[in-house]
Structure 1
Amino acid sequence: MYKIKAEKLASFFNNFSIPMLFLWSLWFLYPLIVSGFVSDDSYISQVRGMLYFSDIGILDRIAQQVSYELSMGRPHAINWIFLLLYFYLIPSLFAHKIIIFMIIFLNIIFFKKIIEFFSESRKFSIFIAFLIPIFFQFRFWHDPILAFPTIPAVSLSIFVSLYLLIKYLQTNKNLFYYIFLFVFTISIQFYEIYYLTIIFSFLILYFYNKSLKKSFILIALPVAILILSMFLTSYLRFDTPGDYPGHSFNLEIIPIFKAFWIQTFASFPLSWMLSDSFAHSEIKSISYIDFAISLSFSILLVRSLINFQYSFKKYNAIFFLIFSLLLLLAPAAIIAITGHQNEIILAGLGYGYIPVFLQYFGLSVLLAYLIFYLIKKIDSSLIRQFTFIILVILITLIASVTRNENFHVVEKSNQIYKYPRELLKSSLDKGLLKNIESNDLVIRNQNFPSDHYWFYSMNAKKIINTCSLNIDSKFIKGERVKVLPKKTENFMQEILKNKILKVNKLSTGKGYIPEDKYPFCIEYKDWDNIYGLSYFMNLKEQKIQVLLAKLTLDDETIKPYYNFKFKQFVIYDSEADSLSQFDSEILFDFNKTLRLHKSKNINPDEMQSLKLDMVSIHFENFHPEEGIGSYLRWSSGNSKLILINRSNAPQKSIISFTILRPDNTELELFTKYKSQTNTKKILKALEFNMNLILDPGLNEVQIFSNSLKISNGDPRNIVFGISDYKVKILD
């Protein structure tokens, strides 16, 4: 009876493997479907807005980007053709996520076929295919599933190439070999990790032919194509060397081993849980339904493996284990010796650079074979049943914890990438900026990727000149900004023409658009109107109110610490999905509106708190404001608070703020006002309340420290942070 049930289970698992695999993959990767445009994707997906400023079409923009990549020594033509065309043609977030899921699913299908070729066992390849999804861990940093669609795409191109080569060997039809060469030629322009296809192809050829001579003959043409491509890339490069970190090499032994270990470990299940991330999910937050589905899947999977009656040939086992080891270790080895080495080491255990996507596949085969090998060594039925229980528990825990953590990562990333974008888009779709003209300027803080000027123009469907108050204009790409002629038709296009970075001989475009910076954008020309845009977001309830105010410069402004005031404003409310216009008799301070992110509603009491005061606060040598709660800014160690007293008399005031040191090391902090310097020792956080008498005009409070930077991989070399800053005038 038991044997009959086992055979029925195996038959069911075998006959319906692809539909079941699809449903299992969709369920496990559902957090991907509900995520936003993450990391680089959040900007590239704004390509339609980018084109408003480039004064060129999408094809010219692609040629421009390709030429720039070649100048960096990166043969990435197909990569950028794919990315820019992809996001231009598919602006829909949902469609994007479905496509990425399908690419990942096809990765699993083609990888299954390759393992079936090596193992000569369809059932074993099915087991591996079902195991692969539980290896997929989402990370906050350089994640190849939530972001970077190129990585799953290039992985798929590797597996498709190898499958075509296998079909050629099995059928002896030259057509498959020609298609293999075509896919290979195209894909080497995708991403450098594809070069590993040469090694994998030779392994497949030798496994099948058992002849070095035949294998070398068949691999010779792909090798020649690769070498030719590399020479062509070198020829097309600029005179100046490329500075892409992937093309620099760090060959010190100890850092290589550190980076190699961290990158390899990242492919192991639950490795992300050991990362020094700001938050992880709790096991108790796993839902009963998720646990039940994981448990059911685990029982089905392990039972099918335990009842799997098959013995691998030693020759086959050796080759598919070599293939899997290469897939696991080769990407880690490449990352460990390149310029990404230091990034990996600083990020620490649990993190992994984007080629970890390929490593998931390699490790899944190794662990599956290890499980299979151990089970086959067990003769006792009692021990086999005990092994069954242990494996079910392990796979259930890995699957349920990983999926729960993936949801947690997505929810945290959505607060940066998805919700602000969707909420802000709702106001733009309602016509918030419909009256903004080509010679008007909109100033705002740039706190999220959706605050980029491309996003405003993409959704307003016209050029929107914007200025980021929280991003300094002193330097653009390492070069001091040129003051451009006062009269110009298009602010952004003039910056574009004066961009210092040159465009190489293949480019038909005008160059790259720099970020809009403050205060350069204010001083640049005489604007017809200056508007201020600020929003008040409730991410928990997914509500937003957006304020658009017509601004005037305060008469007492001290450049470059501008203060903006307003009476006329429009408010968009997402709950009512409506625009409301106001014309007040009271002068409000626009700078204050930028610090009301925590507000649920803009009510009369809130507006009263925005009245223009005699003292305003500004920042020097702080990094841009982050988050939506406590107005956090980071410092690299030497910063200033600038306090502007616009009255003609000294003002007694209290300036309060909190200094943060987000690790376990002590911070020695100095604060200096005029000739008085104070020192504090800080662990984690300390609140400051400074009683100051502010002279008319500009006053400086220096905040600095000689303590070591925080070791968290942040290239800004963070030493401390400041939050909850405010000024109170005493009567």
Structure 2
Amino acid sequence: MNRNALLLILAGFTYVAICLLPILKSGLYSDDLPNFQLKTIRADHNENAIELALPGIEEWKAKGRYTPISFILMEFAFKYFHSVFAYKTYIYLLNLLAVAVFLVYLSAIKFNVNKGIWLVCFGSVMQFRVEYHDAYTTFNGMYQMLFIFVFGSLIFYSYYLANRKHFFLGVSAIFFIISILISEVGLLTILLFPGSGLLLKIPYRKYLLSFIPYFFISLIYLSYVVWLKSHVLDQNVYTGLKTNIDLLAMTELLFKQLYATIPLTNLQNTSAIPIKIFHQITDLKNLLSIIFIFFIGYLIFQRSKADQENRLKNFELNYVLLAVALMILPAFFILPSSKYQLEIGWGRGYLPVYIQNFGTATLLAYFFEYSFRNQRIANARYAISFFIFILVSTAITFLFNNALINSRSYRISFPADVLYKEVQNGILQNCREGSTIVLGNDFYWKSPDTYQALFKKITRKNFKVYDIGTNILFTDSSECYLLECKPGKMVIVSLFKMDCSQNEIKILIKQKETPCDIDVIKEDGI
């Protein structure tokens, strides 16, 4: 690698690192919120991550799913990262590591696209979707680790094809096993193996035999999962595994996932976009970040003119096919799911879009490089206009990611944290064992049972916990309380004595106000 190519990669990494900065200020939401608050309260600090993961593994086996390493990764994250900032820093670094692994993969398969240009294109597709399930900021880095092991397996497989050293094949197989035990999407690895052979120009007969171990590993895993699911009652099967083989619904879901990889599509169904973006750019930190994004992007563009090592001489269909495969194949694992066929809307991609984005960035970078290296002036002008569009898209995406995180933190993350701390500070200490606690605000996606477990861990008391508005099993012998947490510029946590039989609030017992300094505007939906 020459000096100029190395400088391009370093500049590109700085570019991506800036684009990912909003992760560091993102709060807890989605599954992370209850998991973090529950699991950072440890009854036995001597248990390791594997021991802590066993109950979750068994619980999900009873629902027809076997992804044990995902639970180990979750327990590891919450065992060792006790502050939200430390946890988010961990996820931030995993995102950067995933990008680094992909660049190594591109080099391993001799995909000679300009890495600096690729990193700039990748910045435009890193769109957060924190209103649903977002792989960039949540899920304890599970998708980053999945990605690292999938493409780590492909890297070592490519090394094996190039060098015929069985050590590389063994490491690749181990990484493959780990990936499928993180998520079923790990099976993506075997679908991408042919791409390595094609791009390395290895005759298919030479790598066909090396593919056999992966085939049998996949067969064993899938057979076990099918057996597991066959021994689970239909009502107990995880909803995401319930299938609906409807070609129309599956095709629509595929296009929704593909649409979510296109730059700026997370603006879908959003109002007052110019106001939100302008409000974010008035923040000095955001303004400086945008200046650096444009400055580094310009430097990469200028340096790319002198980059001889990664120039594309001719149009290579295999490169395009690999990029398209990366865009499409990860989505296949959720297409039969009736849950996601119903839940996913336009502009709202589900977790596999994290991997699909790497394919989109690869396709964008390839076509830019091919157009820019073409001698015809019209194509070069098109490439320059395209690059400007990518930079502007990245800037808008960065600002909108900040707006989404601020809005989510204002409405969910911060008030949920305030409520959590007030319970730790003893707001429920005078409530008797067996009392009924009615939740005025349930930040756990309507999961009062999880709050019941949290309250028990903190107070050492068993409460009956319900969401407000639900049917309450009330007995004359039990006391009843309403625990309320109102989001706002001043988060107000209140505990009321309540007459559950009449659904009436009788008296205020405790109240605590906590200022919230998260910068939001009414156009954010506040």
Query: Which category of TM-score, normalised to the shorter sequence, fits these structures?
Result: 0.7 to 0.9
Task: Report the counterpart of residue 638 of structure 1 in structure 2.
Answer: none
Alignment size in residue pairs: 502
- Does residue 1:266 correspond to 2:229, yes or no? no
Query: Pick from 419, 424, 428: which aligns with 1:424?
Result: 419
1:530: Cα distance to partner? 4.3
* Higher share in helix: 2
Whether contact under 8 Å (1:269, 1:398) holds in the other structure is: yes
Aligned mate of 1:377, from 359, 374, 377: 374
Is 1:355 the equivalent of 2:388? no
Q: Percent sequence identity over matched residues? A: 19
Counterpart in 2 of 1:74?
65
C-alpha contact 1:42 1:417 (8 A) present in aligned 2: no
Give the superposition deviation at 1:307: 3.6
The answer on 1:154 being equivalent to 2:146 is yes
Identify, as 1 or 2, the structure richer in strand.
1
| 1:404 paired to 2:404 | no
Per-residue Cα deviation, 1:535-565 (whole angstroms, up to 9, x for no partner) = 454x33xx3343334x364xxx8x4x33242
Give matches, 1:210-221, under 5 Å: 210-221=202-213
- Give the Cα–Cα distance (whole angstroms) in 1 for the partners of residues 515 and 202 of structure 2: 69
Q: CA deviation at 1:229?
A: 1.5
Secondary structure (helix, strand or coil) at the match of 1:224 reads helix
- The yes-or-no answer on 1:526 pairing with 2:477 is yes
Distance in 2 separating the partners of 1:471 and 1:552: 13
Give the Cα–Cα distance (whole angstroms) in 2 for the partners of residues 165 and 414 of structure 1.
Answer: 42
Note the 1:127-146 alignment, pairs <5 A. 127-139=117-129, 140-146=131-137
Q: Give the drift of 1:76.
A: 1.4
In structure 2, the partner of 1:562 is 503
What is the Cα deviation at residue 531 of structure 1? Answer: 4.2
Query: 2 CA distance for matches of 1:417 and 1:32?
Result: 16
Higher RCO (CA 8 Å, separation ≥ 6 residues): 2
- Tell me the SS of whatever aligns to 1:546: strand
1:694-720 deviation digits (Å, cap 9, x = unpaired): xxxxxxxxxxxxxxxxxxxxxxxxxxx
* Aligned with 2:493 (options 532, 546, 565): 546
- Provide the alpha-carbon RMSD of the alignment: 3.5
Distance 1:119 1:552, change over 3 A: closer
Tell me what 1:593 maps to.
none
Q: Which residue of 2 aligns with 1:240?
A: 233
Task: Using the TM superposition, name which of 164-173 and 457-466 deviates more.
Answer: 457-466
Q: Does the C-alpha gap of structure 1 residues 407 and 65 become closer, same or farther in structure 2, counting only changes over 3 Å?
A: same
Which has the larger Rg?
Answer: 1
The match for 1:224 is 216
- The answer to whether residue 522 in structure 2 is matched with residue 571 in structure 1 is no
Q: Which residue in 1 is equivalent to 2:284?
A: none
Task: Give the corresponding residue for 1:109.
Answer: 100
* Residue type at the aligned position of 1:192: E
For 1:248 and 1:469, the matched residues in 2 are separated by 27
SS in 1 for 2:511: strand
Does residue 1:323 correspond to 2:322, yes or no?
yes
Aligned-pair CA distance for 1:29 = 1.2
Q: Give the match for residue 658 of structure 1.
A: none
CA separation of 1:348 and 1:546: change in aligned 2, threshold 3 A: closer
Give 1:298's aligned residue: 297
Tell me which amino acid in the other structure corresponds to 1:352.
G
Structure 1 counterpart SS, 2:334: helix
In the TM superposition, what are the counterparts of 1:685-724 in structure 2 within 5 Å? none
List aligned pairs for 1:49-60, cutoff 5 A: none
Could you list the per-position Cα deviations for residues 626-682 of structure 1 after superposition, in whole angstroms to 9, with x for gaps in the alignment? xx98xxxxxxxxxxxxxxxxxxxxxxxxxxxxxxxxxxxxxxxxxxxxxxxxxxxxx
Q: TM-score, normalised by structure 1?
A: 0.62
CA distance 1:461–1:250, change in 2 (3 Å): same
Write the distance in 2 (CA, Å) between the matches of 1:312 and 1:44.
Answer: 47
Residues 239 and 141 of structure 1, relative CA distance in 2, 3 Å threshold: closer
Q: Tell me what 1:453 maps to.
A: 451
Quote the offset at 1:357 in angstroms.
Answer: 0.6
Unpaired stretches in structure 2, ≥5 consecutive residues: 282-286, 517-524
Matches of 2:210 and 2:289, distance apart in 1: 48
Structure 1, gaps ≥5 residues long? 1-9, 474-518, 577-627, 630-731
Distance (Å, rounded) in 1 between the aligned partners of 2:51 and 2:109: 45
The answer to whether 1:468 aligns with 2:462 is no
Check 1:454–1:129 CA distance in 2 against 1; reply closer, same or farther (3 A cut). Answer: farther
